[in-house]
Amino acid sequence: MIFEGYPPIDPKAKYPICLEGERACPPEDVGGPWAYAEYLMVISDRKHELHEDYMEWRGPFDAEAFDAKKATRQMRKR
C-alpha cells in the first residue's frame, strides 16, 4: 500500500471518505492470507472438489470488485 497524500480539507464534507481503492476485502471468516488465497483458487475452479461447498458457504464473490461509495458507508458505520 502506498500513501500518496490527501486532497484539501473540505469543511462541508462529511468524513471519513474513501476516494479510491482496489480489490474487495476478503469475506468474513475466510481465514488468514493463505486461506484467502486457497478460497479464491477454489471458487474460481468449478472442477475443484470443494467448489460447491465454498459456493454454498459464501456464495459468489468477486475479488476484483471495489466501490468507493460503499467503502465510505462501511467506514461511517463504525
DSSP, residue by residue, 14-74: -S-------SPPPPTT--SHHHHHHHHHHHH-TTSTTHHHHHHHH----TT---HHHHHHH
Domain interval for residue 40: 33-77
Which pLDDT tens digit goes with each residue over 24-34? Answer: 989 889 999 99
Q: What is the mean pLDDT of residues 39-63?
A: 95
Which pLDDT tens digit goes with each residue over 4-14? Answer: 888 888 999 89
Q: What domain count does the chain have?
A: 1
CA atoms within 13 A on the CB side of 76: 12
Is residue 68 in some structural domain? yes
Q: What is the DSSP letter of 13?
A: S
Is residue 52 in some structural domain? yes
Is residue 47 in some structural domain? yes
Confidence at residue 73, expressed as pLDDT on a 0 to 100 scale: 93
Is pTM beyond 0.75 here?
A: no
Is residue 70 in some structural domain? yes
Is residue 57 in some structural domain? yes
Is residue 67 in some structural domain? yes
Is residue 2 in some structural domain? no
Residue 1's pLDDT band (cuts 50, 70, 90): low
Is residue 26 in some structural domain? no
Residue 44's pLDDT band (cuts 50, 70, 90): very high
